[in-house]
Structures are given as structure tokens and as C-alpha cells.
Chains A and B, each alone.
Chain A
Amino acid sequence: MIRLERRPETSRAMLWLTPVLALILTVLVGMVLFAMLGKDPLQTVAVIFISPFADLYSLSELLVKATPLILIAIGLSLGFRAGIWNIGAEGQFTIGALAGGAVGLAFHGTDSIWLMPLMWISGCAAGMAWAAIPAYLRTRFGANEILVSLMLVYVATLLLSAMVTGPLRDPDGFNFPESRLFEGSAAMPLLMEGTRAHIGFFAALVAALVAWLLLGRHVVGFQIRLLGEAPRAARFAGFVEARVIWFCLLVSGGLAGLAGLFEATGPVGQLVPSLPVGYGFTAIIVAFLGRLNPLGIIIAGFVMAVTYLGGEAAEITMQLPNAVTAVFQGLLLFFLLGMDVLSTYRFRLRRRVREVA
């Protein structure tokens, strides 16, 4: 009989092995799925995992997709460590893009190196403000931050639609629900001409580095980890839970807002109702796939970017439905959470002991 047995100590090796195992299982189940759809499984997997690395442009697109994922996931991971569940990064992303973008549009035609930083600050601040709503309701009334932050996603999406069909609509845009293009000083500086990769990627790397130092070396990171591990011990240590809640929600909201602004002023280039495409939700998977560890999140961000681009390629070359990407990502999270049990438990083969009466 196979038994699950609790490990005396959490296995460090398993902690890093389980994401890899989850990825392998996802690919295997994906192949079964493709076979059932009548496609050659090996060829489909090859398209998904090789085409994103085929040329320079594809590589730059990986950066485009990975940047918002990493940026948002870094912020979320801090809260997840402390047991604070900001599920509404998509809404903070949208509001960040909207507020920062509105600042850019207000200074339309202005040529100044200060415009971009001003937009960054407003996008970040707006994301924080949106996340401050669940923080306030949680610390003041004990409202569940999962529900509040999630509900605010829909408010944010509708607010964006309202603004681009109203005040922020492009005056020369034939009444299409979209803003002017971000140009000149209001456009995100690119890493390389001819691609869409932008300098926001460096912001994501800096965020990861700061988060890594904070978690490993600073008392604020220790508060976050202790609150997640043992809330009573955190109180015993003299830490105030409400402060950690505010900190985690503001940081994750701010980073999501920044990611939204980058996306609007970079790859997308204008405010459109379809701006939120789910980075805020996918980043939750990225955070867990990266083991809530900043360096792991960078790797996970790229893995997830590959599934986006590979899924697109599979749609085009293999005529697969566009749900493939979502199914793939869902499978990945499913297996990841399932495999998690292996870091605290292990399998033991054991002969059944006859019960002695």
C-alpha cells in the first residue's frame, strides 16, 4: 500500500522540484488533449515550446509578456507570503493604466523628459489607491480582501470603458472607444527598435531584487513571513497585523498599477477597453509557480510568457482553439497546487500490517 507520510522537515529540494514536475505533467496532459483534438501531440508541443525562441522578434515578445507578469507577481507574492490574498491585481492594473494614461493624455503634445516619470508615479499611485480600498475595509471592518479586491476588478474594467467612450476618447478617432495614441514623451522607451520590448522589464528586475532583499534581509520581510507562518508568533514578536496588510496591499497594488501603465504606453500604445487581458490573474499562477520567491518568479514569468506565445502560435499553425492557452495555464496551476503536497509529505511504500485484534 502506498502511504502519504509527513516529512519531519519541509524538503528544500522538493520545493524547487515540484514546479518542474508540475510543468512536465502539464505538458503530458496537454499532449493527451491535443491527441483527442486530432492534432499530432509532439508537433503541437514543439510549436508551443520552440516557436517563442525561434527569432529575435519572438524573444522580444517574451519580454513584453513576462514584464507585467513578473512585476505583478512580485507584489502579489509578498501578500501571499503573509496570508493576504489580493486577487484583484487585474483591477489595479487597469486603474494604473487609466490614471497614468490620463496624465499622459492631459499633457498631449508636451515634450519633456519629466512626463514619463510623472505618468509612472500616477499609475503606481492609482494602483495603490485601488488596493487601499480592500486594505481599509479589511483592517477597519474585517471585510474579506479576496472578495473586495476581486469585485473591484469589474468596477475598474467598466470605469476604463466609460472613460475611453467619454472624456478620454480620441477626438480624431471616428467615435471608436479608444484614446489617442501615446506618442513622443508619453510613449514607453523601447529596448530595441522594431520590437515592442520596453524598459519596463528593468523595473520588473529591480522590483524582484528589492523584494528579495526585503524578504531575506529586512525586518519588514520577516514580519511578512512570520505573519504567514504563525500569526500568533507575529503578535508575540510585537508586529501589528494591520500594518502588514496595508503594506502588502499597497505594494502589490502599486506594482500592478505600474505594470498597467507600462502596458498601455508601451505594447498597446493607447487606452482601449480590451487593455486588461488577464495579466493580473495569470500573475497569481506566476507567483505560485515561482514559489513566492522573487528569483523563482522571474523564471516563472518567462515560462508563462512562453505558454502565451506558444498558445498563439499553436492557434495559428495548428488551428487549435484559442482556449488552449487558458487550459494550459489552468493545468499548470492545478498540478502545481497538487504537487505541493510533496514538499511537506512523501510517499512511502508499505506492506499492509495486519491488524492485531
Chain B
Amino acid sequence: MASVSIRVYCLETMTTTPLLQLESLTRSFPGIVANNQIDLTVGQGTIHALLGENGAGKSTLVKMIYGALRPDSGRMWFDGRPYAPANPATARASGVGMVFQHFSLFEAMTVAENIAVALPAELAGSDLPDRIRDVSASYGLVLDPFSRVDQLSVGERQRVEIVRCLLQSPRLIIMDEPTSVLTPGEVGRLFTVLRKLRDEGRSILYISHKLREIRNLCSHATILRRGRVVGTCDPGAETPESLARMMIGNAVRRHIRKVQEPGAVRLSIDHLNLPAATEFGVSLKDISLDVRAGEIIGIAGVAGNGQDELMAALIGERRSTTPGAISLDGAPVGNLGPTRRRAMGMAFVPEERLGHGAAAAMSLTENTLISARGRRNLARRGVLDFGAAKRFASEIVSAFNVATTAVTRQAGSLSGGNLQKFVIGREILQGPTVLIAAQPTWGVDAKSAAEIHTALDQLARAGAAILIISQDLDELLSVSDRFAVLAGGTLSAPRTSEDVTVAEIGMLMGGATHEQQDDAA
């Protein structure tokens, strides 16, 4: 009798104790609170979505669950017991596995070797190939332990990561945007595997911003925005539009710019078409937009809908075969490279500061040479004028309050906000007639963000045309005069920022996401 009742008791705790529970988890980085008092409960045998825009705090949160980061405060329980992993190895030993978005595989080694190096020694014995075959067979993850990784497709590489994770029998599997690199067929197969894992009683924490996918797959969702939990829901009962609205939030700050009468068209994008550069890129389809002098136009959209491609086309890193697809003050520039476009008055702020907008190991002085050689006369007939470059760097530092000890410091030693101010200052002080900026305040502290917005506003008032591509709707709605939504490589008609409702934006972003997902299904 006694043993029966104990068994019943165990069954009860299994079903009622949540697998993972977080209580007011907080983690901050210099200048920014990435996770603010996060509560999260993942039940046994559920697929739980973690939803949010880029920078909402999703990766910080899962890094803490996986032991790669320590919380500043807050508590975690795993299966009813206090849980505080010191590193990913302890997290794995406790039963938490993770499949990363970017794979960490050695291309010249076989599948079995790759799996063996990541496993604890006792699991990496000589029977490993057999166990790999067993696991892959039972989940329909077809994989030959002896094939070399460089011969595998992206989907197969992901299977290696999943099998590696499953061999340690995790009870919670964290998946970070697993479908972002998969073809539609592979997505379908992955979902079958995930559902099978769930039916076995394992739980999955599924990170994504693909709304349709989450509606199909997940029974619970926690929505993050700016480091806070802003809601939980059953995604199946929601529409893509309502999910997008939760991601965006309702408390959108209103337009603060005093609209001035826009002048003549400075930047004109006219039926721009650009095929995707890679298998996973997005093709730009028939994009048209006019930006007038004195005007700030924002382009919104969920990441991965063509933002990078549009930016590359506007900078001239990818040229169009039709010169007239992009024109500047009436002159076609679509076929010109970045240097010629800059000479004609364009300036650009790429999304990534380090590695794209600036070189980390070079001094601030040298970093001015990346974009300002022509307009600031920093090179004459190829000979660099370091005196002039140094003066220009100092000018940027003082005009934009860049906190640094000297312009000889390496760009990589500056904080994110300060480097961003430097990069934006470098472009604005060239006196451009058209400025195109991607994510100008991404990962930047509030004070720096405000300074950057003021600088953009002043530049527009001086008669420049400004285009901002951003995923931060608050930013777009408060800074821009009009804005359009980029989804699946197409651009919506621009609307006046003051008149648009959050519901409309959700529809544009979610609706387009919907369409994209239909392509993928």
C-alpha cells in the first residue's frame, strides 16, 4: 500500500512541479539593464516560446539559464530544486541542453568526433557511433556518424548539434532561433522532432521572432520587451497581428519632432530589385521610396526581412545593375560604389559598429579614414594626412561628447554608446545631404540615444534627408516624420508617424511575417 501511495505522490509532483521556474531574475551590463525582474515558468513536457524583438533580452536570459552568464539577482528552480549553474557544464549535468543558432562544429572532423569532443569523457566511449545511430534513428534525425561535417548541409549540421544535445538526455532543451538557417522542408522535419521530444515529457524553450512558427508549435509564450516580461499567452489562441502587437507594446511614445515643410526629393529609391546574395538572404522586391530634404523617414520591420540587404544596396556595397534604382538629388547612383556615393553627399551608419562601421584594433584617428577620406580631405592623391585625420577625430570627440582619453585609443576600447556616437559623429560632421542609418541607437544607453536623436533632428533641420532602418518602433515613431514597414523584402507605402495606430503596425509587420511563413511552410 505504502509503495503505491508513494508512486502516486511522485507522479503528482512530476506533473505539477514546473520544470523550470525563474523569479525576478535581473542582469545588467554597463549602461543597460538587459533583464529586469524576469519571471518565467516552463511546465513539464511543453514547448514554451520566448518571444521578443532583437535586443529585448532573450539571449541574456537563456545564457543565464544555460550557465553562461550569472544573474545579478533573482532565483531559479529546476524541477523544484534551487538551480544556479556556475557554467554550461553544470547546467548540462543538471539536465539543461542548448542548441545554438550558430553552430560550433569542426568542419574537418567527422560527426562522431565532433560529438565526442563536446561530451563528458564517460559518454564519449567507443560505443558512441552506435549511440549516435540509435538516437538519430529514434528521432528520425538521419545522420551518419562517420561523415565529415564539411560535407553536410546546414540542416544536417543542426542535426549534429541536436543529437549532441540529446545524448546527454536533457530535460529542458533551449533552442535559439533554430529555423533561421533552415529550408522550408527542414523546418517541417525539425518540428516533427520537437513534438516527439515534447511527447516524451521533455520541455523545450523555443526562442524565435517568427510568429507563425510559434503559433504552430508552442503551447505557451512569454513575451519580452526591453528586458522585461510584458505578457504571457497561449500563442495558438492569438493571431500573428496580436502577437506582433505584444512584441511591439502599446505604450508607444508619440512623435516629438515638429514637422517642417519637406523640401525637394533628395534620395529616391525607384523600383529597386536585388536578388538574395546567399541561400538564406532575402531578395529585395520592387522597393520605391522618396526622402525629401528636412525629412526623417523610418523603415520598421522584424529582423531578417531584408534590412541588411537594403542597407548594402544603399551603401553601394552591393551595386544595382540599374543606375536609376537609387538616385541622389536626381543623379543616378545605383551602379556606383560607396566612395563615389560619399563624394556626392551620402553618408552611412551601418548596424554593426565593430567590424563594419569601425575597425576595433585601429585608433579613432585611423577610423576616420574609413569613410571621411574624401569629404574631409584626409587623403590627397592617396597620401594620408594624419594631422587632418587627428583633428577630425578630436572634433568628433568634442562635438558628440565621446568619452575617451585620447583619439589614439583603439575603437574597440570604447563602450558601445560612445563608439556609436563616434561613428554617427563621423558621418554627420561630413555634412551629408543624405544620411542613412541602421539601428542608430541599438544597444546604446538612454542618454547617448537621446543625444543621437537630437543630432539626427538637427541634421534634418539643416536640410538633409534622413533614412533610419530600425527594429525599435519607439525610436522610429518618435524620431521619424513618416515611416514604412519592410517585410519579406517588400516595402509598404510610407505613412505619417502621427496618424498610424499600433494595430496597423502590427498588421503590417505580423501580416507580412504571416506571408513569409506561408512561403516557408
Contacts and interface: CB of A to CB of B under 8 A. Distances in A.
Nearest to A10: B361
A356 B90 CA distance: 13
B360 A230 contact: yes
A237 B82 contact: no
Interface in B384-430: 384, 386, 409-410, 412-413
Given A233-B359, A233-B370, A237-B338, A218 B383 contact: yes
A226 B362 contact: yes
Contact of A217 (B342, B362, B383): B383
Interface string B483-506: 000000000000000000000000
Given A229-B360, A357-B84, A236 B382 contact: no
Contacts of A233: 355-359, 370
A229 B361 contact: yes
A222 B369 contact: yes
A256 B217 CA distance: 62
A196 to B, nearest CB: 39
Contacts of B360: 229-230
A229 B412 CA distance: 12
B515 interface: no
Contacts of B358: 230, 233
Nearest to A222: B369
Interface in B220-273: none
Size class of the contact patch on chain A: 20 to 34
Interface string B330-372: 0000000111101000001010101111111110001001110
B316 interface: yes
A238 B339 contact: yes
B86 interface: yes
Given A10-B410, A237-B370, A230 B383 contact: no
B193 interface: no
A8 interface: yes
B317 interface: yes
Interface in A26-51: none
B317 A235 contact: yes
B382 to A, nearest CB: 5
Interface residues of B, number: 37
Nearest to A240: B337
A219 B356 contact: no
A206 interface: no
A9 B409 contact: yes
A220 interface: yes
Contacts of B356: 230, 232-233, 236
B204 interface: no
A232 B352 CA distance: 10
A80 to B, nearest CB: 15
Contacts of B355: 230, 232-233
Contacts of B82: 357
Which of A225, A229, A240 gathers the greatest number of chain B CB atoms within 10 Å? Answer: A229
Nearest to B409: A9
Nearest to A7: B413
A219 B266 CA distance: 30
A8 B350 CA distance: 24
A222 B373 CA distance: 11
Contacts of A355: 86
Contact of A230 (B317, B338, B359): B359
A154 B29 CA distance: 55
Residue in A218, A219, A238 with the greatest tally of chain B CB atoms within 10 Å: A238
Interface of B: 82, 84, 86, 315-317, 337-340, 342, 348, 350, 352, 354-362, 366, 369-371, 373, 379, 382-384, 386, 409-410, 412-413
Ranked nearest first, the 7 interchain pairs of A and B with the lowest CB-CB distance are: A238-B339, A238-B338, A230-B359, A237-B370, A229-B359, A232-B356, A219-B382
Interface of A: 8-10, 217-220, 222, 225-226, 229-230, 232-233, 235-238, 240, 355-357
25 contacts: A8-B413, A9-B410, A9-B413, A217-B383, A217-B386, A218-B382, A219-B373, A219-B379, A222-B366, A222-B369, A229-B359, A230-B354, A230-B356, A230-B358, A232-B356, A235-B338, A236-B317, A236-B350, A236-B357, A238-B316, A238-B338, A238-B340, A240-B337, A355-B86, A357-B82
